[in-house]
Amino acid sequence: MLVRRHVPLLESTLRARPLRLLLASQCSRLRYSSSSAAHPERIAVLGGGIAGLASAFFASREFPNTKITVYEGSAETGGWIKSKRVQVPGGEVNFETGPRTLRNATVTAHLVQELGLVDDLVFTKRSEPSANNRFIYYPDRLNRLPSKVPSLGELFTLARSGILNGWLGTITEPLQPKRPAALSDETVGSFLARRMGKRITDNLVSAVFHGIYAGNIWQLSIRTLLPTAWQLEDKYGSLLGGFLRMQHETDNGNMQTLAHPYDLNAARAMQSEIDIDIDLAEKLKEATVFSFKGGMQTLARGLQNAMEKTGNIEIRAGSPVASFKLADGAEKKVEVIAGSDDNKTTENYDVVISTLRNAELTPYVTVMTVNLYYENPALLPVEGFGYLIPQSIPFDQNPERALGVIFDSTAIKGQDTAPGTKLTVMMGGHWWNDFEGYPDEEEGLAMARSVVERHLGIKDTPIAHHVNLSKDCIPQYTLGYEERLKEFASSLQDEYKGRLRVVGNQFNGVGVNDCITGAWQIARGLRDGGWKSGSCGLDRVQDSRPWTVVNARDLTYRKIVSEKDVNA
């Protein structure tokens, strides 16, 4: 593969990876310790999920001489990331109860590299069927979604299923009435139905949002979840018109897009501060998603192990936070009370990074995952990633309120030593919002089996299974979220004078990558005396600069470029 770096001098050190990584980490330490004259003495991180662990890790890189304490309520760190290794006849299989794969993201790739986990990675290549075959269940069968530009045949098959009914509205969108200037937010459903019609929105878009938020598109905020679409309409009066303008307004042939200046700065910081090893970059480029041979928990464990080795981070598992507040006295410190009922401690910190949830900011949804393993390796009627179920499916086709089914044994390979078929049925989300109780393990298993029998015709008995209820696992960025977040940010600043920062899936996005990137930004924000500033870590939402037209490539990490680009 033709790949080369921008900076030829670095090329030889790149090839000698261990040396390069060693140098990189020493350079980072030198740079970080240069500001150590004014480093915080103690930092507390509240919550040992991925956002908390990554925050502690990055903060320790910034301040090697600061004592960092991570408080985690449960016995184990990692939060929603949980992998379970299960013995089955013929080998072992990996069951994930939470996030199961990662998409390429600069900070995550860098973290994996720093933790020495590159050899533990498994990739789903772009060429594999699971990368290309994604299905939507509608109205009573699986429909393959076109992977890139759809062929006429693919469009015809989709149109025949009825999924695309109402698509004509999409091209007449620029002629439709403009959105009222005073409208400060809209639901994803309403925004998209205005241009695509309600039927496609319900049949297609709702399925995609099930797969990410397990949420209801008629409640989620377009302004937060599809901000570029919202801003394009704001600037150009039409989403399609704005999109087409972006194709024309090219500078040196580059595609353009709208971006918030904060995001542009963040992209520049990644570009200048992060080096990704060339071998890893190549693998990531060829993959749609990746995970770890031992499951996603490898990442959380890798982080914990690396932190334990630093000597300046203490992880207190089984130590729930009871309360925290700005401590009395002249010095700005935050007092944290934590621990079990019979063993509570009260300690003061210069900075607290909280990943704990705030009940007023967002509602949450609960998801039940049921992992199923069958001895027969050839059970599935189609090969692919799995399928999502839209909101429009009538109750009799989906009484269990399943959101989707993942074909794990094809979606990500290299984790199991047994050859059978592995599936995960995901149920609940917004559908279960009003439930007073949830199905127990036995009921969950029966419901999942009935979903795969009705949708896929699978009647076999699974030889291994795991039922897990993740109560309140995905925050819902509902209508008006951004305004609520702004108010929340100023109240935090008033109360904690900058000594409390917040990060995690309630603020940065619901994915693992969002949490890791948010943690990296929080730690950078503490640098060079930033820990004494009045920020609460929500600088992005408080930054009122308008979105501007930028070259799309300026938003992407591109230290690794193709030979063609180098020569251009």
Give the shortest CB-24-to-ligand LM7OVKF4 separation in angstroms: 26
We find the least distance from the C-beta atom of residue 402 to ligand LM7OVKF4, in angstroms, to be 8
Report, in Å, the least distance between residue 180 CB and ligand LM7OVKF4: 31
Our separate counts of H helices and E strands in the chain read 22, 23
Residue 289 interacts with ligand LM7OVKF4 (CB under 6 A): yes or no: yes
Residue owning tokens 């290309």: 132
Q: Which stretch binds ligand LM7OVKF4 (CB under 6 A): 87-95, 98-106, 327-335, 515-523?
A: 98-106
69 or 468, CB closer to ligand LM7OVKF4?
Answer: 468
Encoded one letter per residue, x for contact with ligand LM7OVKF4 by CB under 6 A and - for no contact, window 499-528 reads: -----------xx-x---------------
User: What is the contact mask toward ligand LM7OVKF4 in residues 355 to 384, using x (rule: CB under 6 A)?
Assistant: ------------x-----------------
The verdict on 404 binding ligand LM7OVKF4 (CB under 6 A) reads: yes
- Out of 47, 79, 98, 242, the only residue in the binding site for ligand LM7OVKF4 (CB under 6 A) is 98
Q: Count the site residues for ligand LM7OVKF4 by CB under 6 A.
A: 22
Are 112 and 279 spatial neighbours (Cβ–Cβ below 8 Å)?
no
> DSSP labels for 395-448?
GGG-TT-EEEEE-HHHHS-SS-SS-SEEEEEEEEGGGGTT-SS---HHHHHHHH
SS3 state at 254: strand
Q: Pick from 79, 99, 444, 518: which binds ligand LM7OVKF4 (CB under 6 A)? A: 99
Residues 6+ apart with CB under 8 A from 268: 554
- Catalogue the E-assigned strands of 510-562: 548-551, 560-562
Q: Nearest approach, Cβ of 69 to ligand LM7OVKF4 (angstroms)?
A: 27
Q: CB 121: neighbour CB atoms within 10 A?
A: 19
For residues 256 and 355, which CB has a smaller minimum distance to ligand LM7OVKF4 in the complex?
Answer: 355
Residue 286: both structure tokens together: 């060829």
**Which lies closer to ligand LM7OVKF4 via its Cβ, residue 99 or residue 242?**
99
Half-sphere exposure of 318 (CA within 13 A, CB side): 5
**93 contacts ligand LM7OVKF4 (rule: CB under 6 A):** no
> Per rule CB under 6 A, is residue 406 in the interface with ligand LM7OVKF4?
yes
What stretch of H or E contains 343? Answer: strand 343-349
Specify the stretch interacting with ligand LM7OVKF4 by CB under 6 A; choose among 206-214, 253-261, 276-284, 329-337. 206-214
Among 100, 195, 260, 501, binds ligand LM7OVKF4 (CB under 6 A): 100
Long-range pairs of 454-461 with CB within 8 A, sequence gap ≥ 24: 454/397, 455/137, 455/142, 455/387, 455/405, 456/379, 456/380, 456/381, 456/405, 457/381, 458/374, 458/379, 458/380, 460/374, 460/375, 460/376, 460/379, 461/374
The least CB distance from residue 499 to ligand LM7OVKF4, in Å, is: 30
Q: How far is CA 264 from CA 78, 236, 242, 450, 545, in A?
A: 30, 21, 20, 48, 12
Strands of the sheet with 321-326, listed across from one edge: 321-326, 334-340, 343-349
Site map 209..228 versus ligand LM7OVKF4, x via CB under 6 A: -xxx-x--------------
Touching ligand LM7OVKF4, residues 439-458 (CB under 6 A) = none
Distance between CA 235 and CA 40 in Å, rounded? 43
Among the listed ranges 19-27, 207-215, 340-348, 446-454, the one in contact with ligand LM7OVKF4 (CB under 6 A) is 207-215
Nearer of residues 163 and 336 to ligand LM7OVKF4, judged by Cβ: 163
> Interface with ligand LM7OVKF4 includes 162 (CB under 6 A)?
no
Q: CA gyration radius for the chain?
A: 24
- Least separation in angstroms between CB 548 and ligand LM7OVKF4: 26
CA 255/CA 117 separation, integer angstroms: 34
- Any idea what DSSP says for residue 200? H
Of 212 and 463, which CB lies nearer to ligand LM7OVKF4 in the complex structure? 212
For residue 369, the minimal CB distance to ligand LM7OVKF4 (Å) is: 6
Q: How far is the CB of 294 from ligand LM7OVKF4 (least distance, A)?
A: 18
Q: Which stretch binds ligand LM7OVKF4 (CB under 6 A): 67-75, 331-339, 354-362, 399-407?
A: 399-407
Q: How far is it, in rounded angstroms, from Cα 383 to Cα 286? A: 20
CA–chain centroid gap for 9, Å, is 35
Least Å distance, CB 84 to ligand LM7OVKF4, is 14
Among 386, 390, 444, 498, binds ligand LM7OVKF4 (CB under 6 A): 386
Please tell me whether residue 280 binds ligand LM7OVKF4 under the rule CB under 6 A: no
What are the tokens at 415? 């984790």
Query: Is the distance from CB of 475 to CB of 362 less than 8 angstroms?
Result: yes
Q: Coil, strand, or helix at residue 118?
A: helix
Backbone φ/ψ region at 219: left (φ over 0), alpha (ψ -120 to 50), beta: alpha
- β-partners of residue 464 are 373
Q: Whole-number minimum distance, CB 125 to ligand LM7OVKF4, in Å?
A: 13
> Of these, 86, 222, 258, 388, which contacts ligand LM7OVKF4 (CB under 6 A)?
388
Residue (43 or 427) nearer to ligand LM7OVKF4, CB: 427
Nearest 10 degrees: Cα torsion 277, 282, 285, 290: -70
- Summarize as ranges the residues that interact with ligand LM7OVKF4 (CB under 6 A): 98-101, 103, 210-212, 214, 289, 367, 385-386, 388, 403-404, 406, 426, 429, 510-511, 513
